[in-house]
Amino acid sequence: MSNMLNKSNKGQVEVSFNWIYVLVAGTLILLFFVGLSVKQKTISEENMGIEVVRVMGNILTGAGAAEKTKNFIDISGLSEFTLYFACEDTIGEYGIEGRAAKMEEAITPIFSPQRIQSSKLITWSLPYQLPFKIIDMLYVTAPNIRYYVFGQNEFVEEMEEEMGVSGPSATGTSGSFGNLELLNDQADYMAINPQKNYAVRIVDVMGTLIPSAPIPDELKAWDDAKVTAVVILDNTLDFYQKSGSSWRKLNAQAIPLISVDTVNGEAKKRNSAKFAAVFSDDPDIYLCNMKKAWNRGDFVVQLYQKKAEELERYFSATDAGGVCYHAYAATSSYGADKNYPLSLETLRGALQSCLVGECRDGDQFKTVLDNLEQLNEDMNLECIPLY
């Protein structure tokens, strides 16, 4: 009897052990196949991310090459993704948030919100001129990013023409964005209703609304990062972001606006540096992309300095001592307002100051730009203009 009980107990132990073995082995096999499935899914997602970023690169490259052209691009296949845009040490970067795939851009300044999630993308480019063309600036936004503008001046009129006021009183040129709304007073501001838009940006060209006005009721529950503002005055910019029920300033000091609205009293249309501040919602990213333009500007000025040297040699043989010669002579006794080398050197010095974070204000740039523009007009009448 005892032997039979021992055998029975031994059998039960063996059966239990076999079941445990089967359970463990089955679990390991299941985990193996689950692991393969997850790995395959991860690889597929990574490959898709790489392809999406490649497509984005093609879109932005094409948009940047078409000066003053607006593009309305259907990206409904990417609408579930959040696109991000960043810039550090004059190297721009964009890609899909949360994915490893990304693209770097070291040349073209790209001004956009930090994040976009939409079924459509809007791109536009404008030349940056100081006063000759330096580079094309690329702007990226989306129809579901709403721009509210407070104040009235020539720049706001340009925004109306290019971006287009939405609603019953819609305005704008053919191909305008249709995502801009004008605010006539603080009551309009407090009544802002973003509806189903992805983000909201307030543009204050008077400096009397932001940051003193509280956050509108309809925006208080919104994610702080999706509600931003910029104050654009004649020569300075200030960037803000929602912080609960009030505004938080993002830049410690006012950012100089290195661009001019007028040259020699005549209005220059489409101030590209101002539009850049409208579309970029972060001061560091704005400055990072502006430094790309200033880097390019330093290079372009050097090219014009070489051209001026060649024209100096030409006029030393054909107009020695004349007005044309003195306009290009590095040793001329003429002032900067009548001499290219002096004006170009001043402009290059100002650009280099900006590149090391010691940017001069717009008024100081305006003087040298006025000098170059007037001198070029004079040379066009009597001699050979530089540009």
Neighbours of 138 (CB within 10 A): 25
The two three-digit tokens of residue 199, written as one number: 């983000």
Residue 344 host element (H or E): helix 340-355
pLDDT digits (tens, 9 = 90+) for 45-54: 556 667 767 7
Per the rule left: phi > 0, alpha: psi between -120 and 50, beta: everything else, 62 is alpha
- Amino acid identity of residue 332, one-letter, is S
> What's the confidence (pLDDT) of residue 262?
61
pTM for the model: 0.84
CA distance 179 to 201: 11
pLDDT digits (tens, 9 = 90+) for 278-300: 999 999 999 999 999 999 999 99
Q: How confident is the model at residue 61 (pLDDT cuts 50, 70, 90)?
A: confident
Domain range annotation of the chain: 50-281, 291-382
Could you give phi then psi for residue 95, rounded to 5 degrees? 175, -155
Per the rule left: phi > 0, alpha: psi between -120 and 50, beta: everything else, 175 is left
> What's the confidence (pLDDT) of residue 46?
59
DSSP 282-308: -HHHHHHHHHHHHHHHHHHHHHHHHHH
Q: How confident is the model at residue 36 (pLDDT cuts 50, 70, 90)?
A: very low
Could you identify the residue written with the tokens 């001699």? 383
Could you give phi then psi for residue 261, rounded to 5 degrees? -85, -25
Q: How confident is the model at residue 44 (pLDDT cuts 50, 70, 90)?
A: low
Neighbours of 158 (CB within 10 A): 17
